[in-house]
Amino acid sequence: MSNNYYQSNGSEVALFKQAATQRVPVMLTGPTGCGKTRFVEYMGEVLGRDVVTISCHDDLTSSDLVGRFMVTGGDVVWNDGPLTRAVKSGAICYMDEVVEARHDSLAVLHSLTDHRRTLYLDRAGEVVTAPDSFMLVCSYNPAYRSSLKELKPSFRQRFVTVAMTYLPPEREAEVLVSEAGIDLSAAKRLVNCAMSIRKADDIFHFEPPSTRVLVTAAKLVAAGASELEAAEVCILAPLSNDGAINDGLRELASASL
């Protein structure tokens, strides 16, 4: 039984297990806060594998991933980076927001994501073949993608791509109950509030409120905040700095609470 509570949202658990069996990498796409990280942590427990998480950013170098020589106590010694540690220990390596990383930093993944399943540590003169349990999982939010930050098709096609999204409202409310301990009716009201804003997303073009912000709002309610206060500070305030838009959203939100 897993300690990481995860509400499944379709066939992603089965797909992940199939990919793990066949030793192919997985790409998770979906809006921020929709459960990608939680899903990977959960699958790590289900499969009995450690998860090594790497948060990608545009300064990330291939040395940050594979490792580098460092001077320790007068000696120059090689230090494995998180990717190398994950490969050597047969863990799941989870590269979050991989679209943020530069293409040249991701080149080290090529030999790992094809039939070779091998990491070449050129500087250390070492070749590491991944054990069967090693799995590479990457994620990105397609909504953030700018024209400058596109993953190359040749890279994307190496992965089984699992598109994730928010849970249906009743199941999302159950997540709030489980994560924050509020009662189901309060959870449903918070979810309805987010749903009304998500539906208005087409008009306003902002990143819609995620399950993450709903969990935070639910935690504030559990700590004594009113639902309206919690919705204001967790769901509404992060959406926009435009007063007029916020007034419109507040009206939408308060109709649900």
Residues that bind ligand ADP (CB under 6 A): 5-7, 9, 32-38, 167, 175, 179, 211-212, 215
As measured in angstroms, the least distance from the Cβ of 196 to ligand ADP is 19
Beta strand residue intervals within the chain, DSSP E: 26-29, 51-55, 67-72, 75-80, 92-96, 118-121, 126-129, 135-140, 160-163
Specify the 3-state DSSP secondary structure of 156: helix
For 9, what's the count of Cα atoms within 13 Å in the CB-facing half-sphere? Answer: 22
Nearer to ligand ADP, 37 or 62 (CB): 37
Q: How far apart are CA 241 and CA 251, in angstroms?
A: 16
CB of 30 to ligand ADP, least distance (A): 6
Nearer to ligand ADP, 121 or 217 (CB): 217
Q: What is the 3-state secondary structure (H, E, C) of 3-45?
A: CCCCCCCCCHHHHHHHHHHCCCCEEEECCCCCCHHHHHHHHHH
Smallest separation (angstroms) from ligand ADP to the CB of 122: 32
Nearer to ligand ADP, 126 or 174 (CB): 174
Backbone angles phi, psi at 165, to 5 degrees: -150, 180
Nearer to ligand ADP, 42 or 84 (CB): 42
CB-nearest residue to ligand ADP? 35
Smallest distance from ligand ADP to CB 58, Å: 18
Q: In whole angstroms, give the CA distance from residue 161 to residue 48.
A: 22
Q: Considering only CA atoms, which of 142, 163, 148 is closest in space to residue 36?
A: 163
CB of residue 11 vs ligand ADP: minimum separation in angstroms? 14
Cβ proximity to ligand ADP: between 7 and 192 the closer is 7
